[in-house]
Amino acid sequence: MSLNWKEINLVLEELALEGAHIQGIRQSAYDILAFQIYGPAAPGGAGSRLILVSLSPLACRIHETFRAAPKSGKPLRFAELLKSRILNSRIEEAIQLGDNRIIRLGLRRGESRFRLYIRLWSNAANVILTDEEGRILDAMKRLPKRGEISGGVYCPEEEFSQTGKAAGTAGEGANLPGGPAFSGRQGREYALRELPGEGSFNSRVDRWYAEHGGKLSLGELREEVRRNVGGNRERLEAALRRLREKEKDYAGAERFREYGDLILACLPPEGSSWLESDSLHIELDPGKNFVKNAEAYYGKYRRAKSGLGEIREEIAAGEKELLALDEMERRLLEENNPLRLEGLLKKIRGKIPQEGSGPGKRRRPEKKIPRGLTFADGDWLILVGRNARENDDLLRRHVRGNDLWLHVRDRAGSYVFIRNRPGKTVPLEILLDAGNLALFYSGGRNEGRGDLYYTQVKYLRRARGGARGLVIPTQEKNLSITLDKGRLKRLETARIQNAGKDG
């Protein structure tokens, strides 16, 4: 699907580049160059044109383009070299060397002369800038095995004069609409393809590749990879920075507990705004008594301690996600077949993290399957942890301060949570449903009755040095429950079947 040598000659004939000046150079991808040219054109006189050079496998070409050349995310090496050497130079020559699909541009800027070779071979395409003697100043693709690196020598004219042909040019041909099949270079007759549409051959080539060539451009596909992965890498890194700042704040949680202890020890009078002790200045709410002020600091301590573990888990997950993203980008950029790369991109586009994902972005608990059991009781949601691990997981990840917590007194057993509904009070029937579940999943099940206590999650304190999930409730209320088999049977039908998975 690359241009054949006859088509290259027609493109150059229409472009009539001799006498024009190079006013701009842009490299939008590692294999795409665009030159802003000003000078005589055929037909129509002087004007500004944009000339596109593509080295993409199966889509090697040169032609005038009528679309804006995309900008690169960062300056690329070869374009910067060309700007320093040939920007504002005059094109004195623009020819194809025989039928070998190598274009030579003779350039002059002031007293300096250069040659820019554009080799449009799908299996070895390149753009090489040399001085008049053929010494390579740089190449768009540095190929040490071919000697196409700075300081090397590139004189294809001598090679052709010695061999009568160019090595390595077989294997591609006119596979666009209207072109003959091609299996080798020697002995083949090429034809100009009948591309659809009106206008010059350059304009028809530009339209055809705009419609069909994008998916064949290795450079554009790789640019998509860099753009998508790079954008998501920036979001992940920004989220990790925010999490690490929070980690620093939460790491000092012990001071809140100490403040609460000091308030209870010193018993400041009501209406106090500050408590000073051992060079500490502890701010108080003058509208609260010393117990309420202490409890406020204990609440900060609990939230910080609970949040610290969660934040560290999110940081670890974010770092893992970042490594996976880098590995994905590496594998994609190593793929040299554009058709295969396009297929890989289709498969993994949904796997690249998008805006709004990543560490620090709290997911709704309903979308993350909790460990334990979940019951949908009308418009209310009841969560049940069946062991210490599930109890701890629910506390850390799936409940919030205003949710209601229930547990059987003086027995090992489940934590049961009733998810809060803003502006709603928990109905007695829902409370009895949750109480039956708490008693059923406890050591008091066989007795058929038991005492429970319940309070909001924000009034739970983790036991210092205690076992996983162990909490101490405050502001709790009592509830006596007698197991109701009919109620339990109804609740079993209300269990959400996709919940309760371990892991």
- In this structure, the answer to whether residues 170 and 277 fall within a common structural domain is no
- In this structure, the answer to whether residues 61 and 185 fall within a common structural domain is yes
Between the ranges 274-278, 340-344, 347-351, 499-503, where is the mean pLDDT highest?
Answer: 274-278
- In this structure, the answer to whether residues 258 and 119 fall within a common structural domain is no
Q: Residue 360's pLDDT is what? A: 52
- In this structure, the answer to whether residues 145 and 204 fall within a common structural domain is yes
Burial 434-459, CB ≥16 within 10 A → b, else e: bbbbbbbbbebeeeeebebebbbbbb
Of residues 371 and 184, the one with the higher pLDDT is 371
Q: Which of 490, 499, 361, 373 is nearest to 430 (CA)?
A: 490
Token digits of residue 360? 């620090």
Q: What is the DSSP letter of 355?
A: T
With a cut of 90, say whether residue 52 has pLDDT above it: yes
With a cut of 90, say whether residue 134 has pLDDT above it: yes
Which tens digits make up the pLDDT trace of 232-289?
888 888 888 888 887 777 666 667 788 888 888 888 888 888 887 777 778 888 888 8
- In this structure, the answer to whether residues 312 and 403 fall within a common structural domain is no
Q: Residue 304's pLDDT is what? A: 67
Residue 407 within any structural domain of the chain: yes
Q: Residue 203's pLDDT is what? A: 93
Token digits of residue 443? 């050591």
Q: Which of 429, 435, 426, 433 is nearest to 453 (CA)?
A: 435
Spatial distance between the Cα atoms of 50 and 31, rounded to a whole number of angstroms: 16
Domain count for the chain: 3
Residue 502 within any structural domain of the chain: no
- In this structure, the answer to whether residues 253 and 205 fall within a common structural domain is no
With a cut of 70, say whether residue 342 has pLDDT above it: no
Q: What are phi and psi of 351, to 5 degrees?
A: -90, -20
From 216, 250, 277, the end of a domain falls on: 216
Specify burial of residue 367 (Cβ count, 10 A radius: 0-12, 13-18, 19+).
Answer: exposed
Confidence band of 85 (pLDDT split at 50, 70, 90):
very high
- In this structure, the answer to whether residues 78 and 195 fall within a common structural domain is yes
Q: Residue 13's pLDDT is what? A: 94
**CB hemisphere CA count around 223 (13 angstroms):** 20
Q: Which of 11-20, 113-122, 212-221, 470-479 is predicted least confidently?
A: 212-221
Give the H/E segment covering residue 37. Answer: strand 32-41
Q: Residue 154's pLDDT is what? A: 96
Q: Residue 2's pLDDT is what? A: 85
Which tens digits make up the pLDDT trace of 407-429?
998 888 899 999 999 888 999 99
Q: CB neighbours of 322 closer than 8 A, spacing ≥ 6?
A: 233, 236, 237, 240
Residue 355 within any structural domain of the chain: no
Of residues 169 and 202, the one with the higher pLDDT is 202
With a cut of 70, say whether residue 172 has pLDDT above it: no
Question: What number is the average pLDDT over the span 349-354?
Answer: 52
Residue 500 within any structural domain of the chain: no
Question: What number is the average pLDDT over the span 294-305?
Answer: 77
Residue 406 within any structural domain of the chain: yes
- In this structure, the answer to whether residues 10 and 128 fall within a common structural domain is yes
- In this structure, the answer to whether residues 376 and 472 fall within a common structural domain is yes
Q: Give the CATH number, domain containing residue 342.
A: 1.10.287
Between the ranges 20-34, 62-76, 305-319, where is the mean pLDDT highest?
Answer: 20-34
Q: Residue 368's pLDDT is what? A: 54
Which tens digits make up the pLDDT trace of 378-390?
778 999 998 888 8
What is the rounded average pLDDT for all residues in the chain? 81
What are the strands, taking DSSP E only, across 263-403?
A: 274-277, 280-283, 373-377, 380-385
Q: Residue 177's pLDDT is what? A: 35
From 316, 348, 380, the end of a domain falls on: 348
Residue 394 within any structural domain of the chain: yes
- In this structure, the answer to whether residues 380 and 484 fall within a common structural domain is yes
From 183, 216, 249, the end of a domain falls on: 216
Domain of 419?
Answer: 365-493
Residue 376 within any structural domain of the chain: yes
Of residues 172 and 285, the one with the higher pLDDT is 285
- In this structure, the answer to whether residues 201 and 254 fall within a common structural domain is no
Q: Which of 291, 255, 257 is nearest to 464 (CA)?
A: 257
Residue 121 within any structural domain of the chain: yes
Q: Tell me, what amino acid is at 138? A: D
Spatial distance between the Cα atoms of 84 and 295, rounded to a whole number of angstroms: 69
- In this structure, the answer to whether residues 201 and 160 fall within a common structural domain is yes
Q: Residue 17's pLDDT is what? A: 95
